Structure 1
Amino acid sequence: MEIVNTAFRLFAENGYDNVQMKDIAEACDISKSLLQHYFPKKIVLLSTMLNEIMLSVFVYSNEQLTALSAEQRTMIQMSFMLRTLDENPKMENFIKDIFENPELTTELVLVTLDWLESIGVKGETAVIRYAINFAVSGGMAVFFKRVLLKASVEVISENIAQAFYLLIGEQPQKIDQIYLSTAKYNTDRYYQQFISYLHEHATIDLSAEIKI
């Protein structure tokens, strides 16, 4: 975890492409060969970080939002995640690196798919996976250009969730009702609870990248 935390900070500060394995080894005060014993390639490190962060986010939902429907939980999670990226530039840069790598984007989709199925989102696995790919990849492309497009984080989050549920066959009226029912959670109070939870439970040290 010391290696993972060090690499995470370097990636967040300098960008994935600008950090070499020797930089990580030097920052950890270990040899490059020892680093590669645990993580043979740089992308393995990035993959490990992605999984750790996503699992921490999903565990929050599983522990704190259990009284809500699967649809409500996904909409709240999407809103919280995009707001976190919007308010923390280092995290946004880190996640942007993920989406610029097709292999890691696929991994993100698979982790999300496992979570959606575990909380009871109904539909064929292939359809849900397609819906995640389409809605999230398209939505994040807009998110990363939100300043140029003058699009708010709230609208992007809502559209990602709506696109996903339309693609798995939900009716627009039901989607609107679910979205309205999540409004009270998309406030500073609940968002701060989410951030505090991440700081307390994430295996990666997020203190330098996500401010409370």
Structure 2
Amino acid sequence: MPRRRNTQRRMEIVNTAFRLFAEQGYANVQMKDIAVACDISKSLLQHYFPKKIVLLSTMLNELTLSAFIYSNEQLTMLSAHQRTMIQMSFVLRMLDENPTMEHFIQDIFESPELTTEMVLVTLDWLEAIGVEGEAAMIRYALNFALSGGMAVFFKRKILRASVGMISENIDQAFYLLLGENTEKIDQIYLSTAKYNTDYYYQQFITHLHRHATIDLSTEIKI
């Protein structure tokens, strides 16, 4: 029972912090603000999460695992290449259609420290689904593709760049750096086209709501 209560308390803190970060921005929320919102002392909060970055890392792990649950459960018959391309397309569309989540993610990519946290949790997923390559090279490719791609994504309206094009370019940059040729990448991208529809995207969002340990009901519309 104590362990269950501790787990429940941890997730209550994560949910509260997520809401505050999404509404006010990561840099504008202090540990004392989270403690007040959770109706606990700051010392108790730091018992569970010694630093704000530890709390965010936990949050990103939970969100990333929830976002990837659709791929993990529904796309297991597809290759790692296909799954990463479909996943990127769905995630960027979700951010495009949900401004609060975009604001939250933009905060992360504007900070080198937070970007590193995002890359680390994504690396864990890439390893789990079998993306091949030297670990250091995968990390470099992911940093390069995501940093450049997301910078364009956040300026997409000014640049008049579509979400689909940005998603494709991120995937292409990532796999080119891992040594794939453009012809193979184009073939893989075409093989995922049937999944980039409203029907499959809605399945993804439904899975996200159903499996997420963080309450996304306000931030992501079904």
Amino acid at match of 2:148: G
Amino acid at match of 1:210: I
Matched, 1:93 2:93: no
Q: CA deviation at 1:102?
A: 1.7
TM-score w.r.t. length of structure 1: 0.96
Contact 2:69 2:207 in 1 (8 A): no
Matched, 1:117 2:124: no
TM-score w.r.t. length of structure 2: 0.92
Indicate the percent of aligned positions where both proteins have the same amino acid.
83
Match of 2:144 among 109, 130, 134: 134
Following the alignment from structure 2 to structure 1, what is the Cα–Cα distance between the partners of residues 32 and 115? 25
Q: CA deviation at 1:107?
A: 2.2
Query: Structure 2: where are the runs of 5+ without partners?
Result: 1-10
* Residue matched to 2:179: 169
Matched, 1:84 2:94: yes
Any idea what SS the aligned residue of 1:195 has? Answer: helix
Matched, 1:195 2:205: yes
Q: CA deviation at 1:108?
A: 1.9
The root-mean-square deviation of aligned C-alpha atoms, in Å, is 1.1
Following the alignment from structure 1 to structure 2, what is the Cα–Cα distance between the partners of residues 21 and 46? 11
Following the alignment from structure 1 to structure 2, what is the Cα–Cα distance between the partners of residues 42 and 117? 26
Q: CA deviation at 1:196?
A: 0.6
Following the alignment from structure 2 to structure 1, what is the Cα–Cα distance between the partners of residues 82 and 69? 15
* Residue matched to 1:30: 40
Contact 2:85 2:192 in 1 (8 A): yes
Q: CA deviation at 1:59?
A: 2.9
Following the alignment from structure 1 to structure 2, what is the Cα–Cα distance between the partners of residues 85 and 71? 22
Following the alignment from structure 1 to structure 2, what is the Cα–Cα distance between the partners of residues 71 and 201? 24
